[in-house]
């Protein structure tokens, strides 16, 4: 073959390859679960594989929601919360494994995350929407009943709560769901990437966005409707907790849904929002709640000790601090805004 023919053959091959380049297919599903609207975007080379995966994801999300819902009367959590101190068997092993992992996070955060804050969450009206401000005596009583260490787990008998105590997975369920879906989505032939938007506070990214490059995630400005900035991320979970996400106002005061287990009242730590980036959804969701309760100083100390996640802290005065791992990936909407990189 002459050089000219070889070049021609190469050109034809390139043209063929370009023509055959598998186009990324994108399938979206929107589902109402876990008290919020969830959007799942599944991308890949095979549309039908993406559709099947997206449908399976919706089914699994509903199953997770059904087991973990604190308000659904046929859920495991409802049964546990209404068992009057009796043992309750988790319906499946993943529920017990999640409980074990979440309780570990409660212990590691020194109780800043405490699943048993639920009676207080109800007393403030965050489950019913009938908001009220409990008085001091009631808060003291509620706080005395918050203690994740009182949750008992037994391989044979299941799970047990002392009478008068209740728990909920609200602080970790979305993150856990992201992990559960990501585990098999990553292994699904024909699926190359996905973005699981599990409500306003939990995002799981799988692979990179179609066309290449990390996914771009908008971080809400806790002081208003706008965007604080954009975070790029791939193959990790991004969880945000903030007082702006669920709150009510009474007598000129704002009360939000993230409670300090020590006082049973909304955590006023000086932080307006906390975003945690981690390979684990459970960690990013649970930690964002816990670090919000801790406040900037303890949150930074906790990060320095662990170093296995990244965090972006927004204080009530608007100042932004982030860990070095996010220095390149976070771009503030206002280019003039000062961003303090922690060390």
Angle at 196 between CA 341 and CA 199, to 5 degrees: 80
Decide if residue 166 touches ligand AMP (CB under 6 A).
no
The CA distances from residue 169 to 115, 176, 197, 252, in Å, are 6, 10, 18, 30
Decide if residue 243 touches ligand AMP (CB under 6 A).
no
* CA torsion angle 79 84 85 91 (round to 10): -10
Radius of gyration for the alpha carbons in the chain, expressed in angstroms and rounded: 23
Judged by CB under 6 A, the stretch of 1-9, 75-83, 114-122, 212-220 that binds ligand AMP is 114-122
Q: Mark residues 283-302: x for contact with Mg ion by CB under 5 A, - for none.
A: --x--xx-------------
Task: Name the phi and psi angles at 6, rounded to 5.
Answer: -60, -40
**Residue numbers 179-218 binding ligand AMP by CB under 6 A:** 201
Judged by CB under 5 A, the stretch of 43-51, 69-77, 169-177, 223-231 that binds Mg ion is 169-177
d(CA 337, CA 19): 45
| Residue 229 contact partner, candidates Mg ion, ligand AMP, none, CB within 5 to 8 A by sort of partner | none
d(CA 28, CA 51): 8
CB of 61 to ligand AMP, least distance (A): 16
| Residue 259 contact partner, candidates Mg ion, ligand AMP, none, CB within 5 to 8 A by sort of partner | ligand AMP
Query: How remote is the C-alpha of 66 from its chain's centroid?
Result: 18
- Residue placing its CB nearer to Mg ion in the complex, 103 or 191: 103
- Residue placing its CB nearer to ligand AMP in the complex, 78 or 210: 78
Decide if residue 273 touches ligand AMP (CB under 6 A).
no
**Residue numbers 84-143 binding Mg ion by CB under 5 A:** none
Q: Which two tokens stand for residue 237?
A: 């979970």
d(CA 270, CA 319): 11
Q: Which residue has the tokens 């370009």?
A: 18
Question: Contact positions toward ligand AMP, by CB under 6 A?
Answer: 113-115, 117, 121, 126, 168, 170-171, 201, 241, 245, 257-259, 261, 285, 288-289, 293
Residues of the shown chain interacting with Mg ion in the complex, contacts defined by CB under 5 A: 171, 285, 288-289
């Amino acid at each position: 073959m002459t050089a000219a023919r070889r070049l021609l053959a190469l050109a034809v091959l390139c043209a063929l390859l370009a023509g055959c380049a598998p186009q990324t297919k994108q399938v979206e599903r929107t589902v109402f679960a876990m008290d919020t609207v969830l959007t799942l975007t599944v991308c890949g080379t095979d549309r039908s594989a993406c559709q099947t995966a997206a449908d399976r994801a919706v089914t699994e999300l509903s199953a997770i929601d059904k087991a973990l819902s604190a308000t659904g009367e046929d859920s495991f959590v409802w049964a546990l919360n209404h068992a009057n101190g009796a043992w309750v068997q988790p319906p499946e092993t993943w529920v017990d494994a999640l409980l074990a992992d979440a309780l570990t996070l409660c212990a590691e955060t020194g109780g800043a995350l405490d699943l048993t804050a639920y009676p207080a969450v109800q007393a403030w009206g965050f489950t019913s929407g009938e908001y009220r401000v409990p008085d001091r005596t009631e808060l003291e009583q509620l706080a005395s009943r918050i203690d994740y260490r009182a949750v008992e787990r037994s391989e044979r008998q299941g799970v047990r709560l002392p009478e008068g105590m209740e728990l909920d997975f609200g602080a970790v369920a979305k993150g856990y769901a992201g992990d559960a879906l990501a585990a098999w989505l990553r292994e699904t032939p024909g699926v190359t990437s996905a973005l699981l938007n599990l409500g306003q506070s939990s995002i799981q990214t799988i692979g990179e966005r179609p066309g290449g490059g990390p996914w771009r995630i908008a971080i809400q400005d806790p002081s208003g409707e706008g965007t604080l900035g954009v975070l790029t991320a791939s193959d990790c979970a991004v969880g945000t907790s903030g007082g702006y996400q669920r709150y009510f106002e009474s007598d000129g005061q704002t009360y939000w849904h993230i409670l300090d287990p020590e006082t049973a009242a909304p955590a006023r730590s000086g932080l307006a929002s906390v975003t945690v980036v981690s390979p684990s959804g459970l960690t990013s969701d649970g930690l964002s709640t816990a670090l919000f309760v801790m406040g900037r100083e303890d949150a930074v100390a906790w990060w320095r000790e662990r170093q296995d996640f990244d965090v972006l802290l927004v204080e009530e005065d608007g100042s932004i601090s982030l860990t070095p791992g996010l220095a390149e990936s976070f771009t503030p909407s206002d280019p003039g805004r000062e961003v303090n990189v922690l060390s």
